[in-house]
């Protein structure tokens, strides 16, 4: 494992100590119960993990991306559900507000998001052909529609809701094109007209509180608009660049946990009078897993370093997410194989949880297919 900077090294030690003592011991029970305990969330806030991307003047840690992804990696190594809770709150809520909100909105919202209030980012529609709309109503808006698979959705105190607030027309190739105008709006939760339910029992990342949010005429004041009206799509895509780098770090964390588990099992399991670590076939599985994992880590840090350098990181973020999530699945699968039958029995070894978590990572924050579209679009442009 390599750290690019001294600060990153310190962050790893800090995050690892917290993750190993506070998160890892609870991970298996949380997975089984499909529940994220509020006490754990409070300890993550108290430790400063949830405010990493909040600027220091608003009470956060003001961390660089490279430090933040290192913490996400360490949390994911202990429990990927906890890392998802942290990364959606940080990359998609606090980072978005820190970049796009007005000074007044930052001062009103960020201190609480750094210390105790959980955020969620509601973009995915239950039915994309009937998107959530926020119609002008009085001096503000009234939102109606259903958002699906929203991480932190059932527990959050603040939701960034992406809703259609009207239509935009533009000229393309001499023709007038009409497109929905997407805006980002802050909704405090609970709210009148908002019904929140679990999205259902999941294959993996099962402790993460992922919800279905139904908005029925939820009133939103005009001051809750983040940035300009109609600028929601651009903000969401920019936030997703950071979110995808964090998702890549989750893949690295899951991969590392799987590799650690496989190495320890290979040394302890004896067949035909020898630890299985002595068999070349097992060594090869470990070698392949370790090599691909290190490549995913390098790409993830490269993306994070580029984000810290400023400028656009859309392509490298999509590449890192694509490669690290698929690598996590590959590594977890190989490491499960090293466990033989013990790898597939619940409650025996954690590797089956890593395998399930990694599989879900290939879907969140844009599927692998969507990452490929982003990369190809960038490569073929111009």
| 3-state SS, residue 64 | coil
Residue 91: closest CA among 236, 195, 193: 236
Within 89-148, which residues bind ligand FAD (CB under 6 A)? 120-124
CB of 156 to ligand FAD, least distance (A): 10
Helix (H) or strand (E) holding 50: none
Q: Can you tell me which of 88, 306, 324, 328 binds ligand FAD, judged by CB under 6 A?
A: 88
Place of tokens 């994309």: 128
The whole-angstrom separation of Cα 127 and Cα 315 is 27
Tell me the C-alpha to C-alpha distance, in Å, between residue 122 and each of 19, 88, 187, 216: 27, 10, 10, 15
How many residues touch ligand FAD under the rule CB under 6 A: the total is 22
Q: Can you tell me which of 18, 68, 141, 149 binds ligand FAD, judged by CB under 6 A?
A: 149
Contact between 252 and ligand FAD (CB under 6 A)? no
For ligand FAD, the closer CB: 28 or 124: 124
Contact between 364 and ligand FAD (CB under 6 A)? yes
The piece of 170-178, 184-192, 339-347, 362-370 that touches ligand FAD (CB under 6 A) is 362-370
Catalytic residues: 365
Within 11-30, which residues bind ligand FAD (CB under 6 A)? none
Contact between 158 and ligand FAD (CB under 6 A)? no
Q: Tell me, residue by residue from 198 to 217, as one string, x for binding to ligand FAD by CB under 6 A and - for no binding.
A: ----x--x--x-x-------
Place of tokens 């190989």: 334
Q: How far is CA 304 from the centre of its chain?
A: 14
Tell me the C-alpha to C-alpha distance, in Å, between residue 236 and each of 100, 240, 262, 269, 317: 10, 6, 38, 48, 14
Q: What six digits make up the tokens of 70?
A: 């290192």
Q: Can you tell me which of 38, 373, 376, 377 binds ligand FAD, judged by CB under 6 A?
A: 373
Omega into 190 within 30° of 0, i.e. cis?
A: yes
Contact between 370 and ligand FAD (CB under 6 A)? yes
Contact between 248 and ligand FAD (CB under 6 A)? no
Contact between 182 and ligand FAD (CB under 6 A)? no
Q: What six digits make up the tokens of 130?
A: 């009937």
Sign of the CA dihedral 350, 351, 357, 361? positive
Binding footprint of ligand FAD on the chain (CB under 6 A): 88, 120-124, 149-151, 202, 205, 208, 210, 360, 363-367, 369-370, 373
């Amino acid at each position: 494992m390599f750290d690019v900077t001294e600060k990153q090294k310190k962050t790893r030690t800090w995050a690892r100590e917290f993750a190993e003592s506070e998160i890892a011991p609870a991970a298996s029970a949380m997975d089984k119960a499909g529940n994220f305990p509020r006490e754990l969330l409070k300890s993550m806030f108290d430790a400063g993990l949830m405010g990493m991307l909040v600027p220091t003047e608003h009470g956060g840690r003001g961390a660089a991306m490279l430090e933040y992804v290192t913490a996400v990696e360490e949390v994911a190594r202990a429990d990927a559900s906890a890392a998802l809770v942290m990364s959606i709150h940080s990359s998609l809520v606090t980072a978005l507000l820190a970049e796009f909100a007005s000074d007044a909105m930052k001062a009103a919202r960020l201190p609480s998001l750094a210390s105790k209030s959980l955020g969620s980012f509601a973009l995915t529609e239950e039915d994309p052909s009937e998107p959530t709309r926020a119609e002008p109503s009085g001096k503000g808006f009234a939102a109606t529609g259903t958002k699906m698979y929203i991480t932190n959705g059932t527990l959050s105190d603040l939701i960034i809701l992406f809703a259609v607030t009207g239509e935009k027309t533009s000229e393309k190739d001499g023709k007038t094109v009409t497109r929905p105008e997407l805006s980002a709006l802050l909704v405090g939760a609970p709210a009148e007209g908002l019904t929140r339910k679990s999205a259902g029992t999941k294959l993996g990342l099962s402790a993460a509180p992922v919800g279905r949010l139904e908005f029925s005429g939820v009133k939103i004041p005009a001051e809750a608009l983040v940035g300009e009206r109609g600028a929601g799509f651009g903000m969401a895509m920019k936030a997703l660049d950071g979110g995808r780098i964090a998702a890549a770090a989750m893949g690295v964390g899951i991969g590392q946990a799987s590799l650690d588990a496989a190495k320890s099992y290979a040394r302890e399991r004896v067949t035909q009078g020898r630890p299985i670590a002595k068999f070349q076939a097992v060594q090869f599985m470990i070698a392949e897993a370790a090599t691909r994992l290190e490549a995913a880590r390098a790409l993830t840090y490269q993306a994070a370093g580029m984000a810290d350098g400023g400028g656009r990181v859309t392509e490298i973020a999509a590449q890192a997410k694509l490669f690290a999530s698929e690598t996590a699945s590959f590594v977890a699968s190989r490491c499960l194989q090293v466990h033989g039958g013990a790898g597939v029995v619940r409650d025996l070894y954690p590797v089956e949880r890593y395998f399930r978590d990694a599989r879900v990572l290939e879907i969140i924050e844009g599927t692998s297919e969507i990452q490929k579209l982003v990369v190809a679009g960038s490569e073929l442009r111009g």
